[in-house]
Amino acid sequence: MVADQTFTNKLRVRICGVLIQNDKVLLAQIHSPITDKLVWMPPGGGLTFGEPMKDCLKREFKEETNLSVEVHELVHVNELLHKPYHAVECFFEVKKTSGTEKLGKDPELSWDRQLLHDLQWMSIDKLSEIDFAPSSLIEKIQHWDRRFNYPVF
């Protein structure tokens, strides 16, 4: 697999949202450029220089899910370091304010290079059975009512 120059050899800050309703979490299925496989993860994307994190997350959620959200607490930070990829991922709790779920697209990528493949509400108790990233977030989601008892990083 040839690494996509859009995301390689630079530090990337990703801002992602954890949206939980009725014991389900909203997940986007993406084609991982690292593993060359499909993985499920909370919606989110790259922070633009000068953009506040909350604004980034609202924008990314709208682009990927068609939902408007309000951003709450930072619940998890994950460092991904797999050369030539390096990302710091910040996961915030979000609440839906409006919209109907619909798979969006990555506006920074052409149609033939899209990473987004699917959008689904996934039962929280099934997270350990799917290809979920980052794995360090699974336990926190599964025990969401105690999420602030866990370290953020």
- Where along the chain do its domains lie? 11-146
The pLDDT of residue 20: 98
Tokens of 43: 């919606």
Strand 116-123 to 38-41 pairing: unpaired
pLDDT at 3: 47
Output the pLDDT for position 5: 66
pLDDT in tens, the chain (153 residues): 444 566 777 899 999 999 999 999 999 999 988 889 999 999 999 999 999 999 999 999 999 999 999 999 999 999 999 889 899 999 999 999 999 999 998 887 787 888 899 999 999 999 999 999 999 999 999 999 999 899 898
CA pair distance 7, 84, nearest whole angstrom: 8
Calculate the CA 115 to chain-centre distance.
Answer: 12
Q: How confident is the model at residue 109, as a pLDDT?
A: 77
CATH superfamily of 11-146: Nucleoside Triphosphate Pyrophosphohydrolase (3.90.79.10)
